[in-house]
Amino acid sequence: MAAAPYHRPETLEAALALLQDGAAPPIILAGGTDLYPAQAAAEAWMCPAPARRVLDISALSGLDGIEDRGEHHRIGARVTWAALRDATHLPAAFDGLRAAARQVGGAQVQNRATVLGNLCNASPAADGVPPLLALGAEVELASAARGTRRLPLAAFILGNRRTALAPDELALAVLVPRHGPGARGGFLKLGARSHLVISIAMVAGVIEVAAGRVAAARLAAGACSAVAQRLLAAEAAIVGRAADPPALAAAILPRHLGPLSPIDDVRATAAYRREAALVLLRRLVAGLAAPDRARVAA
């Protein structure tokens, strides 16, 4: 079998032109931590997919930084989990996302895998999705024909391995809006072991406390549905309440997990996943409300 064409453009314009040339859409290569295992697994099972051309974005400038743009932070498409993990200048609202960064595979994966690649892969168990949902993130997309557009993360990920990325588009960045100075983020994950594991259930949240009460809350759960879900009823149950950890935990009820649709698989039963998500969510909310809480990712 002939090798697929490999492209490494040095400008965004050249990269977008390759996506618009009428040929089959290429595989976008950033960190490669999803691409190479998938290819190896296919070959091991003697069912390799037809060769597809590759678009390597490693030479594109402007995609490898975490920038404070005033109204939002911009996480470029080449930012790795290690870079995010070690970014000490980010506000406390990012603590959940940085905690997730420490649990994405091992150190080798964190050094190569990108934050945006985790979203584009659209796995139901993608560690980056719940904390970015809780942060209200958007995805910045670009095409030669239509220019740039932004999509809320919830509208970008459509299902298991499915996104709203058009064939002629390139995902450029994750945009995280600015939160109030009292906003705190957190992330909790349950797996069969503490590291190098696919989640059984995970939760993330951003809570803002003002004058001793929960002024705002955004909560999300992952690995319990085809797509990670915001838990709007759980958010409504704690907003306005006194920031008392036990009372806030008790305010989270099983019915608040209504949007979740967990499945039975080799890692856990659906019933176990739902119960685990409830326990994790209560722990998360209590931890974020604790007045003496140390920063999760400090």
pLDDT, tens digit, 9 for 90 and up, residues 247-279: 999 999 999 999 999 999 999 999 999 999 999
Q: Is the pLDDT of residue 23 over 80?
A: no
Q: Is the pLDDT of residue 295 over 70?
A: no
pLDDT band at 24 (very low <50, low <70, confident <90, very high): confident
Q: Helices in the chain by DSSP H: which ranges?
A: 12-19, 35-44, 81-85, 95-101, 107-112, 115-121, 129-134, 153-156, 232-238, 245-251, 270-289
Q: Is the pLDDT of residue 3 over 90?
A: no
pLDDT band at 172 (very low <50, low <70, confident <90, very high): very high
State both tokens at 252. Answer: 């989270």
C-alpha distances out from residue 141 to 54, 66, 156, 258, Å: 19, 17, 10, 31
Share above pLDDT 90 across residues of the chain, in percent, rounded to a whole number: 83
Domains of the chain (ranges plus CATH)?
6-38+66-177 (3.30.465.10), 183-289 (3.30.390.50)
In terms of C-beta density within 10 A (0-12 exposed, 13-18 middle, 19 or more buried), how is residue 189 classed? Answer: buried
Mean pLDDT, range 120-137, rounded to an integer: 97
Asked if 95 and 186 count as a contact pair (C-beta separation under 8 A), the reply is: yes
pLDDT tens string 44-75: 667 776 678 999 999 999 999 999 999 999 99
Q: Which residue in the block uniquely carries the two structure tokens 């990269």?
A: 15
Closest to 81 measured CA to CA, from 106, 56, 55: 106
**Which DSSP symbol is given to 256?**
G
pLDDT tens string 207-224: 999 999 999 999 999 999
